[in-house]
Structure 1
Amino acid sequence: MTQEYTAHSVTADGAAPRTGSRVRTLLGRWRRDPGIWRRGIILAILAVLVALLMSFHAQIPNRIGNLGSLIETFLPWFGLFVPLLLILALVRRSATALIALLLPAVVWLNLFGGLLTDKSGEGGDLTVATHNVNAGNPDPEGTARDLAESGVDVLALEELKDSAVPTYEKALSDTYAYHSVQGTVGLWSKYPLSATEPVDIRLGWVRAMRSTVTTPHGKVAVYVAHLPSVRVKLNAGFTANQRDDSADALGEAISHEQIEQVILLGDLNGTMNDRSLRAVTSQMRSTQGAAGHGYGFSWPASFPLARIDQIMVKGVEPASSWTLPRTDSDHLPIAARVQVR
């Protein structure tokens, strides 16, 4: 009896076919397929549209539901379209779609590929952290204890409820000799604070403050801010107008700062990509972008999707940036180490 062997059974020596042989077989079939260039045109168009969306996000207007800001908030996640379209292109056996996929892949890598590398370094003489502790936090004492154990020199807290402030003050008093609470934000420091005052961000109540921290290496102006929350509504789109007005006011205050070394700590309810925060981001650097590892997403804590909590600097050199372990808040705390001149 004669036994026949196919490319999908075994080789002449009885071994399973190699991966390279399988790939060559697959490519041979594709070359003989006359529809390889005609199929997947819609997938190719989608790939081009994703590339254009990422490339020209700044040109998407905000006039209708702040659509531009909404897209910019979650812009890094548009990279997920690449593997999804890749799978569909392979299923469809479309060379056209595969080639078109190079466009969004290259654009995404150009925009966000640098965040995949570890840019943290040695050095730095001041560690800072910020945390939206959540007004509904069920364990403010535990949250304060966890933050104190992080060992940072300067700690900013946002969304402080009046009734919880004494708990935070007591739990942090052994670690931080100096502190000030202004409205719903507070600053704790191992170094002396002076010239502490609220910052008007056009809300009618205090959600931002400024203080001079006298470190062993020089004076630093530290701002703490909690910009208004944003919402996505079907009938109104991305409701961020109040936040945008507050961001403009915060940026104006920082631009008038007399001390050259400035650190901004807080929940800005927006990412560095969001054009509506330009009044702030145009004059300051993100420690995560300059000296972080990965994206450093901070919200929501259960499954972080965006970095809306920020540590930004001006006249100060970032050395490293990272997220701290989760507390009972819906935000992750974030920290950075910087070099004060």
Structure 2
Amino acid sequence: MGPFRSWRGDGGPWRRGAVLAGLAVAVALLTALHAKVPNRIGNLGSLSETFLPWLAVFAVPPLLVAAVWRRSGTALLALLLPIAVWLNLFGGLITDKSSGGGDLTVATHNVNAGNPDPEGTAREVAGAGADVLALQELAHGQVDSYRRALAGTYKYHSVQGTVGLWSKYPLKAVKPVDIRMGWTRAMRATVTTPRGEVAVYVAHMPSVRVKMNAGFTANERDKSADALGEAIALEEVSQVVLLGDLNGTMNDRALRAVTSQMRSTQGAAGDGFGFSWPASFPMARIDQIMVKGVEPVASWTLPRTDSDHLPIAASIRLG
């Protein structure tokens, strides 16, 4: 017991655990000041912001166990800091903010180009009852399967490149949107609803990767996000909805060109975080429904399909 007692120290509970207290303060500062983490080296800022809600979740429990084991009052008190910061940033997402009175239900799903059952996936998502459905990562050889499966539910549709839009209401002014990729992965259409026109954008941002020699490789995604933000800023229709896989979260500064002018339906009217990826164990909401000029009243995730993403849906109030 001699070495054990010596390692734990003979100081009182307020003199032990200085290192643990320092780690707790560091977690709190990193969570609160995530915008200060530089992106110059491996896009570390964007990487940390992608999984920001999990930082304190993973860090606090082991620090708490260590603080109790060390009988350190200082460390236990310091742990209140990351908890308070986390609640300030994300506590509002825990409560259910949904309500009724929506005029339009929209849904979006990255169906995965390698989906083994495209027709089954289409039927599952269509069964959610959305008035407007956006699909991304449509493999060329599978487009007809999605068209067949959705024809009975949606009278109007358009596919542009690898993204598509299906609607129960007429579409007009349909066109691809250039997000600087060299091929079409975004589109725009006006949906004519009984409550007025809605400009609907569908987008699939370039994928991001974590590489040992390069860090978080997101430069192509960032350029596309800037281009999409420019297109939305020039939109003449006052009611705008963005549906798609943005390969980034609302916390990610690289998506600021979009997030600065639109609201997330999950943040405004969701219940929980609404994580959508990976489908097997969702850890981040990289699939987004964002709005401008309309009021979100509910937002939720849909059951898993044969894709590696979960579909998501939202109800919005128009006019």
Give the match for residue 95 of structure 1.
73
SS of 1:137's equivalent in the other structure is coil
Normalising by structure 1, report the TM-score. 0.90
Bigger radius of gyration among the two: 1
Aligned mates of 1:42, 1:121 — CA distance in 2: 46
Aligned mates of 2:201, 2:252 — CA distance in 1: 20
Aligned mates of 1:221, 1:101 — CA distance in 2: 46
1:87 deviation in Å? 1.5
Q: What is the CA deviation profile of residues 139-193 of structure 1, one whole-angstrom value per residue up to 9, with x for unaligned ones?
A: 0010011011111000000000011000000000000000000000000000000
Give the match for residue 40 of structure 2.
63
SS of 1:331's equivalent in the other structure is coil
SS of 1:223's equivalent in the other structure is strand
Give the match for residue 216 of structure 1.
194
Q: What is the CA deviation profile of residues 213-241 of structure 1, one whole-angstrom value per residue up to 9, with x for unaligned ones?
A: 00010000000000000000110000000
Give the match for residue 258 of structure 2.
280
1:86 deviation in Å? 1.2
Residues 1-341 of structure 1 aligned to structure 2 (within 5 Å):
34-80=11-57, 81-341=59-319
SS of 1:232's equivalent in the other structure is strand
Aligned mates of 2:301, 2:215 — CA distance in 1: 30
- Partner amino acid for 1:165? V
Aligned mates of 1:307, 1:34 — CA distance in 2: 45
Q: What is the CA deviation profile of residues 54-91 of structure 1, one whole-angstrom value per residue up to 9, with x for unaligned ones?
A: 11110111000000000000000012122221121111
SS of 1:228's equivalent in the other structure is coil
- Partner amino acid for 1:278? R
Aligned mates of 1:67, 1:210 — CA distance in 2: 32
SS of 1:336's equivalent in the other structure is strand
Aligned mates of 1:317, 1:95 — CA distance in 2: 47
Aligned mates of 1:332, 1:84 — CA distance in 2: 30
Aligned mates of 2:52, 2:19 — CA distance in 1: 22
Normalising by structure 2, report the TM-score. 0.96
1:35 deviation in Å? 2.9
Q: What are structure 1's unaligned runs of at least 5 residues?
A: 1-32
Aligned mates of 2:188, 2:98 — CA distance in 1: 27
| Same amino acid, percent of matched pairs | 76
Aligned mates of 2:126, 2:294 — CA distance in 1: 24
- Partner amino acid for 1:78? L
1:34 deviation in Å? 4.2
SS of 2:303's equivalent in the other structure is coil
Q: What are structure 2's unaligned runs of at least 5 residues?
A: 1-9
SS of 2:288's equivalent in the other structure is strand
SS of 2:146's equivalent in the other structure is helix
Aligned mates of 2:284, 2:22 — CA distance in 1: 28
Aligned mates of 1:223, 1:310 — CA distance in 2: 11
1:268 deviation in Å? 0.1
Q: What is the CA deviation profile of residues 96-131 of structure 1, one whole-angstrom value per residue up to 9, with x for unaligned ones?
A: 100111111110100001111000111111000000
